Chain A
Amino acid sequence: MVMQRLSGWGRTAWTVADLVQSTDLDVVRTTLGSAGERGVISRGLGRSYGAAAQNAGGIVLEMTSENDPMGIDADFDPLTGLLTVAASVSIDAILRMCVPQGWFIPVTPGTRFVTVGGAIASDIHGKNHHIDGSFGEHVRSLTLMLSSGEVIELSPEENPAWFWATVGGMGLTGVVLRATVAMLKIESSRVEVETVRLENFDAVCAAMSADGSDDDYRYSVAWVDLLATGSSMGRGVLTRGDHAAASKVENKEPLAYDPRLTVSAPGWVPNGLLNKWSIKAFNEAWYRKAPAKSHVGLESIPAFFHPLDGVKRWNRLYGKQGFIQYQFIVPLDRTDVLRKVIEKFSAAGVASFLAVLKRMGPQNIAPMSFPTEGWTLTLDMAAGISGLAELLSEVDSLVLDAGGRHYLAKDSHVSASAVRRGYPRIDEWMSTQEEMDPIGLWRSDLSRRLGLVDQRRSL
């Protein structure tokens, strides 16, 4: 037994669990059989920010294959673009394999260091949600190990209820072993990006919704400066684009792909390094760097999709206190709530290094999937700010009163009642979850805090 202290990417709320690292089916099955009443949760690369992949006092089954000497456990057909891959494989590994063959992952979050299993469990989304939907919508089938040890196949056609309960199910329906994903055809490894600076929040929202031009771009996201005040409040930089045609790329090898980590955050950083002043300076520079008039250029995949991956272990920049990543969504007509939230954080002096606004497309049929038609705002902040619990609770109420909700892969603080209000289909999901896991094996710190699994079921 290896007792290990674990946290999410935000490095808060550490708890101790028995960590089992294996992708071997027999080991996984034996591990499930040996679990006590604190249960089991699977974990990939630990990129969810809060407590989704930790399990205090129980077993955490870490399934990653970054260092697999056998190479990537995948079967890819470059004619159809169908990729069948082990759930432990990362998007990083998939891109290295598929981009040179002219295929891209259909949905990528802001980091490529997430596993396929995690992408399904969180039903992740990217800058193309308004066009392509979330990750689960591109999964053609998946192989799941249930708490009984039985291995089953699920797809939108075959047992759709169990399939969609697993998509966005935060790992609480079983261990995803493999999945078949429909990849996206590309001609080059470059993205044609249009960048424009927008002077205030109204301008940002207008550019992303009012004229409907967002739908002309596969990818669209805005960075928003939360520290700008007065007439510049909510100013931002909007970037939109699509994969560039081969003809646009002068390089002789348009599909060449070479993601490299540039720098690494030091292992020890003082708590106050990222403060209101340093972030304000960064934001100012970032805003000024963007062209005042719309500008079109070519960017690499890492620069456009995964800018933060350029700094290895960037999550350490907040020091020992860790940080919160707060992501919520509100309906399209509630930009007033976005504005109030920004004002609240700004008034409280909460500086956010990374505030990202995106207009999302319609929701899919998974009961616990986060994205739904509306605006999603994401911001991060130091966890040690005093009064943060009270401030976030006020913001939570604004979001929930407007019919919004929180993204569980990012969450590290909301209450059980907030999830019940935000996810109206939670009871339907819980009853499917109970069908799939009658013994109540799957448990995580997140599921305990949010009451996602009926605690009375005990092993």
Chain B
Amino acid sequence: MKNGVGVAQNIVLFGGTSEIGQAIIHKLVKPGVSHVVLVSRDIDAAEVQVAEMAERYPDLEVHHVRFNADDSASMVHVVAEVAQQVGDIDVAVIAQGVLQEGVDYYANPAALQAVADVNFTGTMVLMYALAAQMRVQGYGKIVLLSSVAGERVRKGNPVYGATKAGVDGFALALDHELVGSGVSVLVVRPGFVTTKMTEGMDKAPFSTDAVTVATAVEKAISHPEQLSGSLAYCSTCF
């Protein structure tokens, strides 16, 4: 659980190679954190990250758990495996996501299934699995990286926006459902963030970076009493 100064002991990042996700983890790692688990598909990349983190924070135990973000059926097992390794899951940051850039959905509409599997179906199953684990713990925080596109789906990439809108709405409802259980959901809606996911794309006005998003999220997690509602608005959220 969290200690008295807002530091969670065990933190898990789903989508362990996500830049925003990693920036959030780096902000959350403070004196008092015991375990960080990076959950990702790519073993080689994860091994490098685990080694880097372990070197940077010698008091911390850093773990890696493998998952396929599009295999929704496996999520329950993934959560169980994480809990097996660290005990309670105090904060879970959900950062896996697919943004198919430049796909002509008019010519190939079936391609959107891959986006929906990761961003929508897989993420919902994962959130239920986490909520179930955290209810037993009597404490837990799920952080969902949504998008400003999830609040207002726009032309350009309506598939991405629609999956984010769907999972964003689900997360808000889940947060309501969990009132009184000690578990809550934080929905983060960054605007255009310059990361490898958006590399090569035209920058939108008011673009931000991963560290700015992470700073806002850290504040919302450590001191939720200073935040109203379940939304963390970052500098470019509108």
A residues whose Cβ falls under 8 Å from a Cβ of B: 3, 5, 10, 12-17, 38, 49-51, 55-58, 271, 319-322, 324, 383-384, 388-390, 392-393, 396, 412-413, 415-417, 445, 448-449, 455
Contact = CB atoms under 8 A, between A and B. Distances in A.
B4 interface: yes
A384 B4 contact: no
Contacts of B32: 389, 393, 413, 415
A38 B31 contact: no
Contacts, number: 102
A56 B9 CA distance: 14
B132 to A, nearest CB: 12
A16 B138 contact: yes
What band does the interface of chain B fall in when counting residues whose beta carbon is under 8 Å from A? 20 to 34
A413 B1 contact: no
B47 to A, nearest CB: 26
B3 A13 contact: yes
Interface in B35-88: 59, 87-88
Contacts of B2: 13
B180 A16 contact: yes
A57 B4 contact: no
* Residue of B136, B138, B225 ringed by the most chain A CB atoms within 10 A: B138
Nearest to A416: B34
B31 A16 contact: no
Contacts of A56: 1, 88, 137-139, 182
Given A16-B181, A321-B225, A389-B6, A448 B1 contact: yes
Nearest to A320: B225
Interface of B: 1-7, 9, 30-32, 34, 59, 87-88, 135-139, 180-182, 223, 225-226
Contacts of A455: 87
17 contacts: A12-B4, A13-B1, A13-B2, A13-B4, A56-B1, A56-B139, A324-B4, A324-B5, A384-B223, A393-B30, A393-B31, A393-B32, A413-B4, A413-B5, A415-B34, A445-B1, A455-B87
Contacts of B59: 415, 417
B182 A415 contact: no
Nearest to B31: A393
A94 to B, nearest CB: 30
A16 B2 CA distance: 13
Nearest to B225: A320
Given A10-B4, A445-B1, A449-B3, 10 more contacts: A3-B181, A12-B4, A56-B88, A57-B182, A389-B7, A389-B31, A389-B32, A392-B31, A415-B31, A415-B32
A427 B123 CA distance: 43
Contacts of A38: 136-138
Given A393-B32, A413-B7, A57 B138 contact: yes
